[in-house]
Amino acid sequence: MYKQYLFLVFLCIFFGLLVSGWGYHNRKLTLQKNASVINQNMLFIDNKPHPQLIELFHLLLPDEITQLRKNQHSITIEELHLLAKKYWYTNHQKKIHSYEKNNEKVTLAFSLLQQLGFLEEISPKKRIYDYVFLFGTSIKKMQLQLNYVFDLWQNGMHFNNIIFLTSERSISHKTYAKLLTDKIDSPMLPYNGINILKKMLSSTQFSNGFNDIKTTYVVAQQPSLTQLTSLWLKQSPRPGTILALTHQPYSFYQHMILSSLIPQEFMLETAALKSHTKIPLTIYLHTIAQILARKYRKTNFKKNC
């Protein structure tokens, strides 16, 4: 009888461990499948506009926000989207250009933009990535991203693949020569973005095994992030972790695009180089208008489903 009792206890413990282990395994798989965005931008809290975002609208569009507040309800994403659509796209910015003459308003606006995460560098959180995306229609920006990734590599970060999402458009010989840091006896023809990137990678500037990393070039004549990412996915890449590198103030918008395209089997993280001081306020506001439009369409689509 005692042996039967011990045997039953053993079976209970065994099945308990089996079930908990299975539950843990399933939880682990769920985390891997659903893991997505790591981005420090804080435009929305629980699908509502961040108070700092509303404050930015109030600073630049005080009459419109005051009128909305008279309706005695919380200001919605849809309302901000409609205001941004009317005033903040680059082809509708006569009102914004008048703001730029007011130094005090511009200073306050940039302070709010900084709090919302549009100015500072967003650093990677992991140490190992299967893929690193470098995206840019400007070769100069791609060069800055490549230098940044190389610095990460030298500091112990590891990448299995570098994916260049870029343009195949030709550039002048003068620009070609200016961008290259090493003197090259016979420049590679034609003068385009891919060949510049290849020459950069083969230069002595990049060492320590960095230029041995597997590289993939995804190109289009008139590239967009949506088009280039879709072209890359058509190559049936193996699921893994992705570090998408971009520049401020575009990190959040580009992350929204990528997260809508990248399958759940991948884990996506977006990092960004800090914003350039010469970028005007109009560019930031145009980007916010794009983010709000995309957020509104996504929210509205879910409501209608």
Report which of 80, 194, 213, 203 is spatially closest to residue 142, judged by C-alpha positions: 194
The pLDDT value given to residue 191 = 57
Residue 190: predicted pLDDT: 54
| Residue spans per domain, the chain | 44-118+281-304, 128-273
- Selection from 80, 77, 35 nearest residue 61 by Cα: 80
Provide the pLDDT for residue 42.
74
E strand map for the chain = 44-45, 48-49, 128-135, 158-167, 214-220, 241-247, 267-273
The first and second tokens of residue 273, run together, are: 């180089």
CA distance 117 to 52: 11
Residue 94's pLDDT is 63
Predicted TM-score of the model (pTM): 0.78
Q: Considering only CA atoms, which of 143, 304, 303, 135 is closest in space to residue 232?
A: 135
Residues, the chain: 305
Domain 128-273 is of which CATH architecture? 3-Layer(aba) Sandwich (3.40)
Residue 14: the pLDDT is: 45
Q: What is the mean pLDDT of each run of 10 residues along the chain (305 residues)?
A: 49 44 33 41 84 95 91 88 90 64 86 94 94 84 88 93 80 54 48 69 71 88 87 96 94 94 95 88 94 89 61
d(CA 176, CA 220) in angstroms, rounded, equals 19
Query: Cα separation of 197 and 5, whole Å?
Result: 71
